[in-house]
């Protein structure tokens, strides 16, 4: 059954006549009959072209932290638009927003703004290479850092069976069109595998320019770092003068005002921020420790961007950070997120489904399999068919997490306990339908029905 109502279907057919596959980002295409066209968003809800309301747990894949169309952010953006948005010079709103970012993250000395996470990680890696005078980059399996050439290796989508030995993984290239030579500069390792990291650093530590890591795997079930793992990576980077880059594009301003650095207490040399920084407006930042600042200050390592620090983006960033600071947003997100995680786990136990609800209350996933996943390779044990059947059932019933469990559920400050109650009811109904269809509804529940 199609996910689209009649008007939404017509709109998507229209979209396909102008946009390739009807989308502006490849990940958004879910098929000709299942890609939804959105009319508008407000708070915790989005509305499709048929006027159908969904409780939105995709939150644009992370950016929406206050809720869609937050009035304070909207006002700030409207005011910025009236003043002209882009100049060939530094502007007032850019300075104010930079100060707000530094005050929020606390550990960094200076930042520069970009517009997307991809731009931020691309600049961070070049800065790290230029600073270290080395070429190798280490990243982790299932971690996503955007769409530029150096980081499209072993992201979610790589087949776990083809990743080779844990100690000498084979980087899986996730796209055609990446020059063959790039592969020789990229190494990959399983997340949370301290033995593999120690082994790697013994052999390659002094040749490695940078380690880039999502402190919590925001593109692979929201898996959290095991105790001590980030600390080990930090220590090895320090010992070998390797630049440690935290990709906080998903965790930044979401886990806490100070992001994953505040949550886990480990400080990188560079961090990249985006998503929740602008509550949906395109703004990103590369934050630098004092030691890294000279990399750009002295010149010679290219960084530029016509729209970096533009008035709209930086007005949105400052207003978003202001709201996060001035309200009880994080307390509400935690309360709602924890209630939802616990409720989902309870329903799964009730229906006898082997599973774990894992991650952070603001960004978590449901793993349908045995044991607790700690890294991307564990995806092999996840029942993706059952999961997508359940989520499809939820979307039909007006609740919208991502259809793929690798992409977490996101909670905004606009979600309420009423949304949680409705979501759990819908989840329970959709789970029963999916289990019935798969012939695996526990027999006592079958009879009770
Ligand atoms: C951790 C992480 N880094 C980088 C990116 C790329 O950001 P963008 O899509 O804004 O280019 C993403 C996007 O999802 C991400 O999750």
Considering the chain, what is the average pLDDT of its residues? 96
Q: Are residues 83 and 227 in the same domain?
A: yes
Among the candidates 326, 360, 377, a domain finishes at 326
pLDDT for res 58: 98
Tokens of 368: 């349908």
pLDDT in tens, 366-379: 999 999 999 999 99
Which of these, 363, 355, 356, 357, lies nearest to 334 by C-alpha position?
363
The predicted-structure confidence for 252-271, as pLDDT tens digits, reads as follows: 999 999 999 999 999 999 99
pLDDT at residue 449 in the model = 43
The tens digit of pLDDT for each residue in 9-49 reads 999 999 999 999 999 999 999 999 999 999 999 999 999 99
* Ligand 1 atom closest to Cα of residue 219: 16
Of 326, 347, 375, the last residue of a domain is 326
pLDDT score at 445 = 63
CA of 144 to the centre of ligand 1 (A): 7
246 alpha carbon – ligand 1 mean position (Å)? 12
Alpha-carbon distance of 225 to 375, in angstroms, equals: 9
Question: Is the residue at 402 inside a domain?
Answer: yes
Ligand 1 atom nearest 118 alpha carbon = 11
**How remote is the CA of residue 282 from the centroid of ligand 1, in Å?**
11
157 C-alpha to center of ligand 1: Å?
15
**Are 364 and 312 in the same domain?**
no
If one residue of 145, 213, 278, 313 were mutated to test the ligand 1 pocket, choosing by the most ligand atoms within 8 A of its CB, it would be 145
Residues with CB under 6 A from ligand 1: 61, 116-118, 121, 144-146, 214, 218-219, 247, 249-250, 274
Domain of residue 318, CATH code = 3.40.640.10
Judged against a pLDDT cut of 70, whether residue 355 lies above it is answered with: yes
CA Rg value for the chain: 22
The one catalytic residue in 56, 247, 269, 383 is 247
Task: Take atom 7 of ligand 1 and give the residue whose Cα is closest.
Answer: 117
Q: Which domain holds residue 368?
A: 37-68+328-448
**Active-site residue, selected from the candidate residues 45, 54, 57, 144:** 144
Our answer to whether residue 144 is catalytic in this structure is yes
For ligand 1, atom 4, name the residue with the nearest CA. 145
How far is C-alpha 312 from the geometric centre of its chain's CA atoms? 22
What are the φ and ψ backbone dihedral angles of 407, each rounded to 5 degrees? -90, 120
pLDDT range class, residue 1, cuts 50, 70, 90: confident
Are 336 and 214 in the same domain? no
Same domain for 48 and 85, yes or no, is: no
Is residue 29 in a domain? no
Please confirm, yes or no, whether 185 is among the known catalytic residues. Answer: no
Distances (CA, A) of 277 to 39, 105, 252: 23, 11, 7
Mean pLDDT computed over 280-307: 97
Q: Is residue 315 part of a domain?
A: yes
Index of the ligand 1 atom closest to the CA of residue 117: 7
pLDDT of residue 22: 97
186-189 and 208-213: which strand pairing?
Answer: unpaired
Task: Please check whether residue 210 lies inside any domain of the structure.
Answer: yes
Residue 442: the pLDDT is 77
CA angle 216/402/221 to nearest 5° reads 25
Average pLDDT over residues 151-176: 95
Is 429 within a domain? yes
Instruction: Give nearest CA residue, ligand 1 atom 13.
Output: 146
Q: How many domains does the chain have?
A: 2
User: Does residue 275 carry a catalytic annotation?
Assistant: yes
In a domain, 7, yes or no: no
The residue to mutate among 157, 274, 316, having the most atoms of ligand 1 within 8 angstroms of its beta carbon, is 274
CA 313 to centroid of ligand 1, rounded, Å: 16
Distance 249 CA to ligand 1 centre (A): 6
Tell me the pLDDT tens digit for each residue of 46-99. Answer: 999 999 999 999 999 999 999 999 999 999 999 999 999 999 999 999 999 999
Q: What share of the chain is helix, strand, coil (3-state, %, to 5)?
A: 45, 15, 40
Do 199 and 99 lie in one domain? The reply is: yes
The pLDDT of residue 367 is: 98
Ligand 1 centroid to residue 56 C-alpha, Å: 19
The atom number, within ligand 1, closest to the CA of 121 reads 4
């Amino acid at each position: 059954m199609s996910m689209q109502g009649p008007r939404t279907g017509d709109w998507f057919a229209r979209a396909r006549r102008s946009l390739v596959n009807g989308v502006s980002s490849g990940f958004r295409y879910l098929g000709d009959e299942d890609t939804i066209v959105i009319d508008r968003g407000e708070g915790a809800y989005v509305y499709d072209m048929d006027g159908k309301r969904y409780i939105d747990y995709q939150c644009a894949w992370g950016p929406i932290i206050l809720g869609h169309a937050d009035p304070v952010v909207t006002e700030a953006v409207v005011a910025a638009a009236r003043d002209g948005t882009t100049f060939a010079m530094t502007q007032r709103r850019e300075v104010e927003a930079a100060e707000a970012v530094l005050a929020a993250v606390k550990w960094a000395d200076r930042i520069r703004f970009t517009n997307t996470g991809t731009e931020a990680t691309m600049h961070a890696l070049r800065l790290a290479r230029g600073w270290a005078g080395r070429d190798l980059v280490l990243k982790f399996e299932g971690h996503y850092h955007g769409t530029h050439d150096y980081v499209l290796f072993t992201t979610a989508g790589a087949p776990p069976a083809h990743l080779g030995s844990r100690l000498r993984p084979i980087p899986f290239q996730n796209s055609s069109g990446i020059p063959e030579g790039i592969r020789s500069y990229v190494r990959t390792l399983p997340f949370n595998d301290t033995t593999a990291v120690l082994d790697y650093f013994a052999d390659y530590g002094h040749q490695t320019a940078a380690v880039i890591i999502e402190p919590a795997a925001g593109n692979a079930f929201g898996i959290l770092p095991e105790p001590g793992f980030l600390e080990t990576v930090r220590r090895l980077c320090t010992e070998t003068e390797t630049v440690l880059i935290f990709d906080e594009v998903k965790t930044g301003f979401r886990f806490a005002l100070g992001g994953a650095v505040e949550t886990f207490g480990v400080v990188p040399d560079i961090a990249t921020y985006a998503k929740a920084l602008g509550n949906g407006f395109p703004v990103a930042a590369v934050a630098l420790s004092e030691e890294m600042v000279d990399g750009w200050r002295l010149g010679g390592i290219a960084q530029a961007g016509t729209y970096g620090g533009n008035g709209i983006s930086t007005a949105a960033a400052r207003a978003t950070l202001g709201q996060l600071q001035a309200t009880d947003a994080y307390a509400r997100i935690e309360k709602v997120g924890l209630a939802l995680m616990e409720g989902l786990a309870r329903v799964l136990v009730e229906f006898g489904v082997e599973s774990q609800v894992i991650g952070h209350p603001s960004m978590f996933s449901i793993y349908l399999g045995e044991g607790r996943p700690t890294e991307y390779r564990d995806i092999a044990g996840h029942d993706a068919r059952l999961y997508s059947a359940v989520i499809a059932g939820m979307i039909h019933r007006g609740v919208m997490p991502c259809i793929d469990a690798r992409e977490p559920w996101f909670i905004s400050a606009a979600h309420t306990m009423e949304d949680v109650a409705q979501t759990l009811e819908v989840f329970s109904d959709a789970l029963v339908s999916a289990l019935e269809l798969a012939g695996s509804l526990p027999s006592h529940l079958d009879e009770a029905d």
